[in-house]
Amino acid sequence: MDAGWTVFFIFTILIAGGAAFLMGQAIAITWRPIWQCVSYGILLGFAERFMVFALFEGELLSFTAYIVDTFVLVAISLISFRKTYVQKMVRQYPWQFENQGPFFLNTKSTN
């Protein structure tokens, strides 16, 4: 079976991307720094590459595929982290911050 676009979409984006989304949320909820999304995303990329190799007969040691998969997973986790972090800041400190969309905070003025 060829590990092509179908496997990339279904496994990398939907399944491993779902794990990356939950990872970003968990890191934000526990007030950990954003760089942990990158370090855990690198590990998730290794696991995802192995699963594609084991389940779909993909190439295990493909550096290009690993970089692309890891980039997608880290991007998903960073987006999830920021969205969750902004929601948490607005909910926890409503007197200081207001929501400026899903990814941006605005400090309330003290007029």
Q: Where are the domains of the chain?
A: 5-107
pTM over 0.85: yes
The angle formed by the CA atoms of residues 67, 73 and 76, to the nearest 5 degrees, is: 140
Please name every residue paired with 97 in a beta bridge, in sequence order, or none if there are none. 107
Confidence of residue 1 (pLDDT cuts 50, 70, 90): very low
Q: What is the pLDDT of residues 86-111, one digit of tens each?
A: 999 989 988 888 888 778 877 877 65
3-state class of 35 per DSSP? helix
34: nearest Cα among 92, 70, 86:
86
Runs of H (alpha helix) within 1-111: 5-7, 17-29, 35-56, 63-92
Q: What is the pLDDT of residues 74-92, one digit of tens each?
A: 999 999 999 999 999 989 9
3-state class of 101 per DSSP? coil
Contact 103, 86 (CB under 8 A): yes
